């Protein structure tokens, strides 16, 4: 196991402020007198503010300083409290959210409406969004998902999965949900949507649930969707799940869940989506930070909607259980034209992974990875073709996926155990893989750490560590130096 650290490495620009704070705090608090005085002032002031503002917003205001005015981004803006909501963390505010959404749905012809969520802890059961809506979370605003599953409506299985991901039949819906929408924005001054997933993870482990857990935010069959300047945390299941959507932007979003024992808390799962940008995000969760998908085996093949034109850049991610950026394993509708650039993966099990299996069908192609940094990662680049999880026995084992046209340029880092493990097979060979400008610092200086099987492709210029024999060698000018005669050589060692 790797060393546990709470702060990202200093190389992460996004988090350098946090580090600064960490360095300054201990010195400041070292004097007991200072601490005592601070506590006194805190207690006094919070009582004072509590009285002035009985809805509980006082706490948030006190802890976070004066409330930043919320910008008006739509012709009409509502305050959640106008609909009777109480931000005390106890009152269930589902009806207030529903009334607000209903009011906004009547404004669609006039540019839509904005719902401001003020500081406070706004407990709610799942509710639906509407088109032409902006949900604005103030600094200190937290939307809390109710933990009792009785409040979570069941929905039909996703057509491209044919199955709730964990149980047959219907599945729980998401805390914040939308179907057939246009022009939806979820933004704010870094307010939070908190799924309070702890009870769900526990019940899942104890096998007390009869249905697949719900995502935190799920938007289906929609377009022109924007998520920015917010924090999403502790989702019961996948955190942000855009399903069969077009034109989705996710920018400057923080996604958090415990790195262990928060099962399936993927950060973002673009699923049969087209034209997506994910940028400037920090993601540290209990499963894949991002997993691009497009349906599962025979159901995904029948649904036939690929994920395509996806740009992922300027991210800092962490995954101790799975990988930073994954494609698959459900990719039966196909995945193509994905670019991942300027990515830092730190203290993780795997950095980038493509996973699939016979039965999936579909394809993964035109995938470009550029400027990736691995910092203390066990396995850097992984392609796995025997990820044998199937919805039921109805899959076609002859439906083999096609993998190819994958390039890796500018791969650097340190503390990596196995930099590359591309495990193609006779049925699913990996074609046309390119490595260029790669030099990765290793944990152990062993041979066979650039592991390959059934891979065809090339290395251009010098690559460290020494690449596998399966790949052709080219010089920096792109001239063939040596053609490989052993593309199907198998040198894979999972023990290492
Ligand atoms: C929303 O209403 C609450 C309670 O009335 C109030 O404290 C807050 O200032 C309002 N916020 C906005 C942005 O109007
Ligand atoms: C949300 O909308 C979907 C689709 O219209 C519907 O099936 C579901 O019942 C709605 N959920 C809630 C909580 O209203
Ligand atoms: C990201 O969001 C935070 C919090 O809302 C904000 O302070 C910051 O300026 C945003 N950064 C960018 C680049 O938008
Ligand atoms: C937003 O809030 C989260 C959680 O509190 C924090 O980790 C993150 O650094 C904040 N983001 C910005 C840009 O301030
Ligand atoms: C699951 O089903 C069993 C048997 O029908 C039932 O006793 C239990 O309450 C159900 N659990 C949940 C969380 O719905
Ligand atoms: C994508 O969505 C954004 C936000 O709604 C919108 O401004 C933009 O025009 C959309 N782009 C296209 C090509 O529809
Ligand atoms: C995110 O926050 C930054 C800084 O406050 C702001 O410039 C930007 O417009 C915000 N993004 C959106 C979509 O509100
Ligand atoms: C590939 O995706 C990018 C966005 O990341 C887009 O600009 C480009 O047009 C797409 N290429 C093709 C051939 O569709
Ligand atoms: C490479 O990515 C890192 C972030 O991981 C960024 O700081 C750096 O500027 C990027 N380099 C280039 C040439 O874009
Ligand atoms: C191999 O993949 C690269 C992209 O990585 C692409 O530009 C090239 O056309 C592909 N070659 C063949 C023969 O398909
Ligand atoms: C390697 O295996 C693939 C398919 O599994 C086959 O098409 C190819 O001819 C083999 N190459 C060599 C050099 O044997």
Give the ligand at the shortest distance from the Cα of 16.
4
> Cβ(416)–Cβ(381) under 8 Å?
no
Q: Phi and psi dihedrals of 333, rounded to 5?
A: -85, -5
Active site residue 287: yes
The ranges of the chain with pLDDT < 70 are 1-65
Mutation to probe ligand 1, out of 62, 70, 93, 118 (largest number of atoms < 8 A from CB): 118
Distance CA 141, CA 315 (A): 24
Instruction: Count the neighbouring beta carbons within 10 Å of the beta carbon of residue 318.
Output: 23
Q: Residue 408 pairs with which residues in a beta bridge?
A: 369, 435
Instruction: Count the neighbouring beta carbons within 10 Å of the beta carbon of residue 150.
Output: 6
Q: What residue ranges line ligand 3, CB within 6 angstroms?
A: 189-190, 229, 252, 280
Ligand 5 midpoint to CA 209 (Å): 7
Predicted confidence at residue 378, as pLDDT, reads 97
Ligand 4 midpoint to CA 410 (Å): 29
| DSSP H or E segment with residue 404 | strand 402-416
Catalytically annotated residue among 287, 297, 405, 472: 287
Distance CA 177, CA 462 (A): 49
Distance CA 149, CA 171 (A): 11
Predicted confidence at residue 481, as pLDDT, reads 98
487 CB near ligand 1 (under 6 Å):
no
Ligand 2 midpoint to CA 386 (Å): 37
Give the ligand at the shortest distance from the Cα of 407.
10
> Cβ(491)–Cβ(451) under 8 Å?
yes
60-74 pLDDT, tens per residue? Answer: 444 455 789 999 999
DSSP characters over 43-107: HHHHHHHHHH-TTTHHHHHHHH-SPPPPP--SSEEEEGGGGT---BSSS--HHHHHHHHHHHHTT
Per the listing, tokens 């994954």 go with 326
Count of CA atoms in the C-beta half-sphere (13 A) of 426:
0
Distance CA 194, CA 333 (A): 31
Ligand 7 midpoint to CA 295 (Å): 33
In terms of Cα–Cα distance, which of 145, 231, 146 is closest to 186?
231
* For the CA of 316, the nearest atom of ligand 9: 5
Distance CA 287, CA 166 (A): 15
* For the CA of 126, the nearest atom of ligand 2: 13
Q: Atom 8 in ligand 9: which residue has the minimum CA distance?
A: 342
Distance CA 352, CA 82 (A): 46
Number of H helices, E strands in the chain: 6, 32
Task: Give the CATH superfamily of 114-482.
Answer: Single-stranded right-handed beta-helix, Pectin lyase-like (2.160.20.10)
Cis ω before 259 (30° cut-off from 0): no
Distance CA 399, CA 140 (A): 50
Distance CA 311, CA 30 (A): 46
311 CB near ligand 8 (under 6 Å):
yes
264 CB near ligand 7 (under 6 Å):
no
Ligand 1 midpoint to CA 72 (Å): 14
Give the ligand at the shortest distance from the Cα of 147.
5
Mutation to probe ligand 11, out of 423, 432, 469, 488 (largest number of atoms < 8 A from CB): 488
pTM score, whole prediction: 0.90
432 CB near ligand 10 (under 6 Å):
yes
The dihedral formed by the CA atoms of 290, 293, 297 and 302, expressed in degrees to the nearest 10: 160
Ligand 4 midpoint to CA 349 (Å): 24
């Amino acid at each position: 196991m790797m060393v546990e650290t709470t702060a990202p490495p200093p190389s992460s620009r996004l988090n350098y402020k946090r580090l600064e704070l960490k360095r300054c705090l201990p010195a400041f608090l070292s004097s007991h007198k200072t601490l005592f005085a601070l506590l006194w002032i805190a207690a006094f002031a919070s009582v004072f503010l509590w009285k002035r503002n009985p809805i509980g917003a006082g706490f948030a205001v006190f802890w976070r300083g004066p409330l930043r005015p919320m910008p008006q981004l739509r012709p009409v803006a509502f305050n959640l409290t106008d609909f009777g909501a109480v931000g005390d963390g106890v009152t269930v505010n589902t009806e207030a959210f529903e009334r607000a959404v209903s009011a906004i749905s009547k404004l669609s012809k006039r540019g839509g409406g904005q719902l401001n969520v003020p500081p406070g802890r706004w407990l709610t059961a799942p509710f639906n969004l509407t088109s032409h809506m902006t949900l604005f979370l103030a600094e200190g605003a937290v939307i809390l998902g109710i933990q009792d599953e009785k409040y979570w409506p069941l929905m039909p299985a996703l057509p491209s999965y044919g199955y709730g991901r964990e149980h047959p039949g219907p599945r729980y819906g998401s805390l914040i949900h939308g179907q057939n929408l246009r022009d939806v924005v979820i933004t704010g001054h870094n307010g939070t949507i908190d799924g309070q997933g702890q009870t769900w993870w526990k019940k899942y482990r104890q096998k007390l649930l009869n249905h697949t857990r719900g995502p935190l935010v799920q938007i289906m069959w929609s377009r022109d969707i924007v998520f920015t300047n917010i924090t999403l945390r502790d989702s019961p299941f996948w955190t942000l799940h855009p399903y069969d959507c077009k034109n989705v932007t996710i920018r400057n979003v923080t996604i958090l869940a415990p790195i262990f024992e928060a099962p399936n808390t993927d950060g973002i799962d673009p699923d049969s989506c087209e034209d997506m940008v994910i940028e400037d995000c920090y993601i540290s969760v209990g499963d894949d930070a991002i997993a691009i998908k497009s349906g599962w085996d025979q159901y995904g093949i029948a649904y036939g909607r690929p994920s395509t034109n996806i740009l992922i850049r300027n991210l800092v991610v962490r995954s101790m259980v799975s990988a930073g950026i994954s494609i698959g394993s459900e990719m039966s509708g196909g995945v193509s034209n994905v670019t991942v650039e300027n990515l830092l993966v730190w203290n993780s099990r795997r950095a980038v992974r493509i996973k699939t299996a016979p039965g999936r069908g579909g394809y993964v192609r035109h995938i470009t990875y550029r400027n990736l940094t691995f910092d203390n990662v066990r396995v850097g680049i992984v392609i796995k073709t025997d990820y044998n999880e199937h919805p039921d026995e109805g899959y076609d084992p002859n439906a083999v996926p096609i993998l190819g046209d994958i390039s890796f340029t500018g791969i650097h880092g340190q503390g990596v155990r196995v930099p590359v493990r591309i495990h193609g097979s006779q049925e699913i060979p990996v074609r046309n893989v390119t490595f260029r400008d790669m030099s990765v610092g290793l944990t152990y200086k062993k041979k066979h750490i650039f592991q390959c099987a059934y891979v065809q492709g090339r290395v251009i210029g010098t690559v460290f560590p020494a690449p596998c024999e399966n790949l052709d060698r080219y010089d920096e000018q792109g001239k063939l130096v040596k053609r490989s005669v052993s593309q199907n050589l198998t040198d894979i060692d999972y023990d290492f």
